[in-house]
Structures are given as structure tokens and as C-alpha cells.
């Protein structure tokens, strides 16, 4: 593995190289293919300070570079919410981002890591804050913020929960929490969604039978066999509900999609 400069990729960035302080949200843990023989790691940031202006930007940013090969990790390595001084180029802004997040216009091409554990009082204070566990307290239990994935997590009774932070925020959680609070009884909710899944996917379940000699699965049996395990409350008010399939689909996960009004609208399998 080696970090390389690729002219085709560098053309997406401005010509000027300058210094920033950055707080990476996590270490690099993957990369997308680029051209035929390269890969492009992407690391989200929770803060960027441009040394040219002294302005601190708390919107989500992206650090990126190009590697060739996988012999030794992803090139650069970052401590989550460590303070780094970097030599970078800024992405040329795109007018039409299409399906991409706004942070795509806030990309920085890393040319060199100038300092690890860099000294900057404002960034060091922010780093200490972001490394401190953040909890969301509710009547049903306490949720812990996962800053890397931008959601709160908890396990309550038999279920795992995630609550997305609000769009454009790194801590507030009003929309997902409101959706969570609309469900008074999660056992009753599980029964209702299980019934929906058993009707929606019944034909598919029978298509997955091992052989033609098996008795067809009925919707009642289907609903009793599957088990709700995780609920993901999104920041648009929708919910994704994950079920164990009891090997009906040979170990694939069942996902039910719930709209912002609390009604199931689709179900499918994954994994």
C-alpha cells in the first residue's frame, strides 16, 4: 500500500495548498475503488479550522486521499477526535450534488499530516468535549451517542434501538425521539409489524422452502416464528425494523419500513 498522487483525482480540487486543523470523527476503515488500480479512503470530520481565515467550521467535512494496494492499511491513520494539522487542497464546489451529501463539497485532499496531537486551544477544548460520553435520558432508558455513526443507541428489554441525530446537527435528536415516543407498547408494535411482514412476504417465504415436500408456511406460523430485534428511528420520522427470520430465508435479515405516520409500507430481506 502506498499513498499516491493521481492527477485525475487532484483535478477535482483547487490548486492552492494550505493548512487546516481537523478533528476526524473516526479512523479510516475502508475505501471506494477509484479508476482501475486505486482506492479512495474517506474520513468524516466534526470540525475544520482554516488557518488562512481562522474560521472554525463545525459542519461535516471529509478528508480524502488516494492509495494503491492494501498491504498496510488505509494510508493515513487518525485517532477519533484527535487534533491534526494537515496540508490540504479544498474540493471545487459542485452546483448539483445529486444523491451526494452536502459534505461532498466540503472535502479536503490530504497532502501531508503536518502534526499529530496538534496544539490549538479551541480545537483541543472541542476535542475533549467530543470525547466525553453524551447521553440522552428518557423515561424508558438512557441512550448513548455514537458520534461516528451519528445516532444514539440503547438496549431496552428485548430490543436494540438507534435514534438518528437531527439533520445538520451532531447531537440533537428531536425527530427520531418523537417517533420513538409515539410507540407506547413495543410488544404490541412487534405483533402488528410481524403480521404485516407475514402477509407481505408469505409467497416469498414459501418460495424459499428447502423442498416441495414441506408443508407451506401459513401467515400465522410465519408471524410467530420471526422476532423483532432492532428498531432504527430515522431523522425524517420513519422507522426501519429488523427481524430475525428463524431461518425462513436461510438466515437473511427481514427489514420492515415504517412511514412517518407509523404505518408499515414495505418489507424485504437483506444480508
The DSSP result for 178-244, as a single string, is: HHHHT-S-HHHHHHHHHHHHHHHSHHHHHHT-SSTTSPPPPHHHHHHH-EEEEEEE-TTS-EEEEEE
Contact 226, 201 (CB under 8 A): no
> pLDDT confidence of 99, banded at 50, 70, 90?
confident
Task: Report which of residues 169 and 190 the model is more confident about.
Answer: 190
pLDDT of residue 1: 55
263 burial via Cβ count (<10 Å: 0-12, 13-18, 19+): exposed
pLDDT of residue 174: 98
Cα–Cα distances in Å, from 82 out to 126, 141, 249? 10, 30, 43
CB atoms < 10 A from the CB of 6, how many?
A: 16
> In the predicted model, what is the mean pLDDT of residues 26-50?
93
Instruction: Quote the pLDDT of residue 117.
Output: 96
Q: How far is CA 236 from CA 59, 104, 230, in A?
A: 19, 21, 18
Task: Report pLDDT for 2.
Answer: 86
In the predicted structure, residue 67 carries a pLDDT above the cut 70: yes
What's the pLDDT score for residue 212? 66
The number of helices, as runs of H, and strands, as runs of E, in the chain is 6, 17
In angstroms, rounded to a whole number, what is the distance separating the alpha carbons of residues 52 and 143? 39
Say how far apart CA 207 and CA 204 lie, in whole Å.
Answer: 5
**pLDDT for 100:** 86
pLDDT tens-digit map of 232-245: 999 999 999 999 99
The x, y and z cell numbers of residue 20, run together, are: 487546516
Would the CA dihedral through 211, 212, 213, 218 be positive or negative?
Answer: positive
Predicted confidence band of residue 226 (pLDDT cuts 50, 70, 90):
very high
Distance CA 211, CA 175 (A): 46
Lowest mean pLDDT, pick from 97-101, 154-158, 189-193, 221-225: 97-101
Handedness of CA 104, 105, 109, 115 (dihedral sign): negative
The pTM assigned to this predicted structure is 0.85
Amino acid at each position: 500500500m502506498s499513498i499516491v498522487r493521481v492527477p485525475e483525482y487532484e483535478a477535482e480540487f483547487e490548486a492552492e495548498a494550505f493548512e487546516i486543523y481537523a478533528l476526524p470523527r473516526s479512523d479510516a476503515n475502508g475505501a471506494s475503488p477509484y479508476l482501475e488500480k486505486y482506492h479512495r479512503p474517506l474520513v468524516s470530520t466534526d470540525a475544520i479550522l482554516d488557518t488562512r481565515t481562522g474560521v472554525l467550521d463545525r459542519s461535516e467535512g471529509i478528508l480524502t486521499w488516494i492509495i494503491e494496494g492494501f498491504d498496510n492499511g488505509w494510508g493515513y491513520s487518525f485517532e477519533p477526535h484527535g487534533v491534526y494539522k494537515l496540508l490540504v487542497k479544498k474540493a471545487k464546489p459542485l452546483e448539483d450534488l445529486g444523491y451526494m451529501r452536502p459534505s461532498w463539497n466540503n472535502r479536503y485532499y490530504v497532502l501531508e499530516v503536518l502534526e499529530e496531537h496538534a496544539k490549538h486551544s479551541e480545537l483541543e477544548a472541542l476535542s475533549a468535549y467530543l470525547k466525553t460520553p453524551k447521553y440522552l435520558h428518557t423515561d424508558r432508558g438512557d441512550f448513548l451517542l455514537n458520534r461516528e455513526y451519528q445516532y444514539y443507541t440503547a438496549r431496552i428489554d428485548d430490543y436494540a434501538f438507534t435514534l438518528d441525530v437531527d439533520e445538520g446537527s451532531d447531537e440533537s435528536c428531536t425527530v427520531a425521539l418523537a417517533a420513538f415516543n409515539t410507540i407506547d407498547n413495543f410488544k404490541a408494535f412487534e405483533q402488528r409489524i410481524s403480521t404485516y411482514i407475514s402477509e407481505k412476504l408469505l409467497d416469498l417465504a414459501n418460495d424459499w422452502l428447502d423442498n416441495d415436500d414441506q408443508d407451506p408456511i401459513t401467515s400465522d406460523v410465519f408471524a410467530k416464528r420471526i422476532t423483532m430485534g432492532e428498531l432504527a428511528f430515522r431523522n425524517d420520522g420513519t422507522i426501519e425494523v429488523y427481524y430475525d427470520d428463524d431461518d425462513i430465508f436461510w438466515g437473511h435479515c427481514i427489514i420492515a419500513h415504517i412511514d412517518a405516520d407509523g404505518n408499515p409500507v414495505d418489507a424485504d430481506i437483506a444480508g
